[in-house]
Amino acid sequence: MTQLLRVQNFSVSSDGFGAGENQCLERPFGDVDPEELVSWAGATASWTMRTDSGGSRGLDDYLTRDYARNIGAEIMGRGKFGPQRGPWENLDWRGWWGDEPPFRTPVFVMTHHTRPSFTLSDTTFHFVDDEPGAVLERAREAAQGKDVRLGGGATTIREFLDADLVDTLHVAVSPLELGSGSRLWESPDELLDRYHVDVVPSASGVTHHLFWRK
């Protein structure tokens, strides 16, 4: 079986931004309330960060429950791991994701400033300074036959799209305009030369865009 590279549950504003400007330790999404972007996912029964037994089981839940299915590794940009830029100043700080990160696989963090790998619960973070193709190769090997999730942010997804390495994308477009920040696209139509798309409005207010290769 082919090992796919999949974008799952990536939320953007109606004008295509995945996060606002001015990301910092206290504001992983910069100048945007993450609640406004990802509340559709938080309301579902299968959301990875859910701690109680409630939640909806309709359309949005089909999207969140697919998050970990057949995933053996994740690739993410440095901004999804933490707000630092340049050389690491404090190796004791081990990312935004707490003692039990929701990835539960090897994770490859793309950065020009590498640091030693470490493990938190079921997740091992590796720091790699390489091109998308080479990083994907390492992630595929670590995934042991399973698919690889491309976790974001928008800049990282763009890099892999530009290198034509992405097999499927699920992007949830929120009815919220940001105006600036980290941008995935000006319009989803940019991908239509290479991908099929299903555009699926949800009662939660987001519109799911499901792309797969032509």
Residues of this chain that bind its own copies (CB under 8 A): 1-2, 45, 53, 56-59, 61-63, 65-66, 69, 168, 196-198, 200, 202-203, 208, 210, 212
- Report in angstroms how near the CB of residue 198 gets to its own copies at its nearest: 4
| Nearer residue to its own copies within complex by CB, 69 or 113 | 69
Min dist. Cβ of residue 91 to its own copies (A): 37
Question: Helices 132-143 and 154-162: crossing angle, nearest 10°?
Answer: 100
Percent helix, strand, coil in the chain, to 5, is 20, 30, 50
**Judged by CB, which is closer to its own copies: 78, or 208?**
208
Given the complex with its own copies, which of 17 and 67 has the nearer CB atom? 67
Starting at the earlier edge strand, list the strands of the sheet with 195-201.
118-120, 123-128, 106-110, 71-77, 147-150, 5-12, 168-173, 207-213, 195-201
The nearer residue to its own copies, 26 or 193, going by C-beta atoms, is: 193
